[in-house]
Structure formats: structure tokens, C-alpha cells
Amino acid sequence: MLESPFRSDGDLLRLLASGEEKAFLEFYRRYQGQVYRFALQMSGKTEVAEEVTQDVFIAVMKSGQRYDSERGSVAAFLYGIARNFVLRSLERESPYVTVLDDPAADYAARLTTEAAGEQDVFGDLARSERLDTLRKAVLALPPAYREVVVLCDLHERDYAEAASVLGCAIGTVRSRLHRARALLAEKMRAGERCAV
């Protein structure tokens, strides 16, 4: 069986704009993971992540041809759209929900279950607890700091790409990231003190 030839993002955007469903699905499968994870890490809620993912790709259906490769990568274009939807969703919600809620309890539970099956049970439990604390600390950051951590540390985007997504200067990304990491380190230290 012949493998279908690789189609560039530009080709897919053009074809989906002309109504080719296969092109749309190929484009969706190529980027849905990044968009979904970004929305989940920003909101901490699977339902928000699903809704944002859906909204982002509907926006692509409607105006994907507006993408300009000179202004950044397709991923940056999609992160930018996702960011707008996430921020809108965060604005609608109480600022306390994210911190008090335990939105990804299934995720934490999965980590715990995985850990229980391994030899170093206590070590893995400590690791999963640490990750859970870190996840909550990220979610508790103000959105302006949270988004740079999600983009630069969790999605490994460089400063230039993050600046393009956020529509700010590279220096701003750098300083926000520095501050965000300091806040996270502080929260993690506080968490460890509580655990002791």
C-alpha cells in the first residue's frame, strides 16, 4: 500500500478552505494534541480544553486562509487563537476555581496508579505528589505568567515564538518567565515545608 504523500501545512490550509474534509482532518490530527494540551495546562479543565480545541479548529475552518507564514509558524498561529479562547474562558470563571478545584484528578490518580505498580512505590508516590503540586502551582499562577511557563517550559517553544503568540517583546517573555519560575519555586518550597 502506498503511503500518502506529505502535505505541507500551507497545502492543507488551502485545501481545507476549498472544502476538502480529508485535508481538514489531516491538519486537525497534526495539531490537535498541542492545542488540547495547551488549553488543558492553561485551564486545568478537560471540558474547557475540549471546548477550546473545538473552537480553535472551527476558527481554522472559517479563516484558516488568513494564516500568514511570514508572521510565524502554524503552531504559533494556533496557540494564539487557543490563547484567546482560553483567556476568555478564564475571565468567565471565578479566579478561585482553578486553585481550589481538582480538575485533573484523573491525571493525578493515573500517576498514582502507575506509581503503585512499580518497585519503588514510595519514591514514585513522592514523585507523583511533587508533579501534582507543581501542576497546581502552575494553575495558580496569574495567566500572564502561566502562559509563558506553558509555552516555554511545557511546550518547549523558544522565546521568539512565545513572543509571537503572546504579541509582546521577547524581553517581556524572558522577564515573565523568570518571575514565573521564581513564583513556582516559592510555591514548591512552601509545599515541601507543609509536607514535612
- Residue 59 in contact with other proteins, rule: CB under 8 A: no
Q: Which is nearer to other proteins, 170 or 188 (CB)?
A: 188
Residue 32 interacting with other proteins (CB under 8 A) = yes
Indicate the residue among 2 and 134 with the shorter CB distance to other proteins.
134
Q: Please pick, from the candidates 8, 58, 88, 190, the single residue that binds other proteins as defined by CB under 8 A.
A: 58
37 touching other proteins, by CB under 8 A: yes
Of the CA atoms within 13 Å of residue 179, those in its CB half-sphere come to 14
Q: Are 184 and 137 in contact (CB under 8 A)?
A: yes
Closest-CA residue to 46 (of 100, 112, 84, 101)? 101
Task: Kindly state whether residue 193 participates in binding other proteins, applying the rule CB under 8 A.
Answer: no
Stretch that binds other proteins, among 83-91, 139-147, 165-173, 180-188 (CB under 8 A): 180-188
CB of 152 to other proteins, least distance (A): 9
Grid cell digits, residue 113: 496508579
Q: Is 155 in the site for other proteins (CB under 8 A)?
A: yes
Amino acid at 152: C
What ranges in the chain are assigned the alpha helix state H? 9-17, 21-43, 46-63, 74-92, 97-100, 105-116, 121-140, 143-148, 159-166, 170-195
Applying CB under 8 A, among 12, 13, 41, 85 the residue interacting with other proteins is 41
